[in-house]
Amino acid sequence: MNDLSVKSLPVTAVAPARKRARASSWLGWLGGTMCLLWLLVALFGPWLAPHPVGEVVSDSIFDAIGLAHPFGTDYLGRDMFSRVLVGARFTVGLALVSALLASGLGCLCALLSVVAPKWLDETLSRLMDALISIPSKMLALIMVSAFGSSVSLLICTAVLSFTPGAFRIARSLAVNIEALEYVQVARTRGEGRLYVACVEILPNMLNPVLTDLGLRFGFIVLLLSGMSFLGLGVQPPDADLGSLVRENIGGLSQGAAALVIPALAIGSLTIGVNLFIDRISLRRNRCSGGH
């Protein structure tokens, strides 16, 4: 009787876990496919666009979806399929560069903070605390109002807004790893601070940092799209997905594809990134739990 109860216990416990694992695996593959699709669109979209991005191709505005124009036409009669393909390059490209810079700078400052003297750690921590207290959209509005809107300024604004959060996460990871025995052994045998930071600490915090990078990418997509919707992001004649929503807002009452498609594109990009990151986080937690 005892043997039967022992054997039946793992089955009831494992079955729901397996169902959750299969569901998360399927959603993770879906998210990864969506991310890969948008990355390919950002890389090759301008060459795949059937029409020049600014060319008026129809006498009718806000045309419905059809064979001639798969995403309809915009408020001037331009092909929305071409404009989405080109606009995705700005949305994905700016967000990816900003996320890489923010996470890289935050991780670098965190490593410096852990291995540097106490006074430098305190200075960096207080500076990041001051920056993280400023809402990202408010900081973006101030920056654009003061210096005008440009691609380089949008990247700088996103990096300035999201570096403090990346620093706090990376620093907490680095502090925990720095207290482990193998790091103390490396210090004892006379290894320098650069070696400890780059060889002992950084490789062991890389997976959580990459997960945070993906999350910050999604946040930056929403920030830059929101700025463009307000007219403070990418400026004409260029356009990102947020700009395409803003300039076709006149078709809201008609439910025009020119308005719906860019909004769905932003949503699919952010949802895909989150699904993919959730799958990576779950797999990393399962591997660490197994060890």
**What is the tens place of the pLDDT at every residue in 115-141?**
888 888 899 999 999 999 888 888 888
Mean pLDDT of the chain: 85
Q: Using alpha carbons, select from 178, 160, 167, 35 the residue that is nearest to residue 103.
A: 167
Contact (Cβ atoms closer than 8 angstroms) between residue 177 and residue 202:
no
- Residue 217 in this model has a pLDDT that exceeds 50: yes
CB 22 within 8 A of CB 35: no
- Domains identified in the chain and CATH numbers: 2-290 (1.10.3720.10)
Per-residue pLDDT, 7: 44
User: What is the pLDDT at residue 96?
Assistant: 94
Vertex 49, ends 43 and 54: CA angle to 5°? 110
Predicted confidence (pLDDT) at residue 285 exceeds the cutoff of 80: no
**Mean pLDDT, range 184-201, rounded to an integer:** 86
pLDDT surpassing 80 at residue 246: yes
Of the candidates 242, 245, 273, the residue with the CA atom closest to the CA atom of residue 260: 245
Average of per-residue pLDDT across 148-159: 91
Give the residue from 62, 48, 64, 34 showing the smallest Cα distance to 264. Answer: 34
pLDDT, position 279: 79
User: Which tokens hold the place of 176?
Assistant: 């925990």
Residues in contact with 288: Cβ distance below 8 Å, sequence separation at least 6, in sequence order? none
d(CA 53, CA 3): 71
d(CA 234, CA 126): 32
Q: Are 155 and 101 in contact (CB under 8 A)?
A: yes
Contact 256, 72 (CB under 8 A): yes
**Average pLDDT in the 228-247 region?**
89
Average pLDDT over residues 160-186: 91
CA atoms of 276 and 176, how far apart (whole Å): 26
d(CA 280, CA 63): 41
Query: What are 56's strand-pairing partners?
Result: 78
pLDDT for residue 283 is more than 60: yes
Q: For helices 80-115 and 118-132, what crossing angle results, to 10°?
A: 150
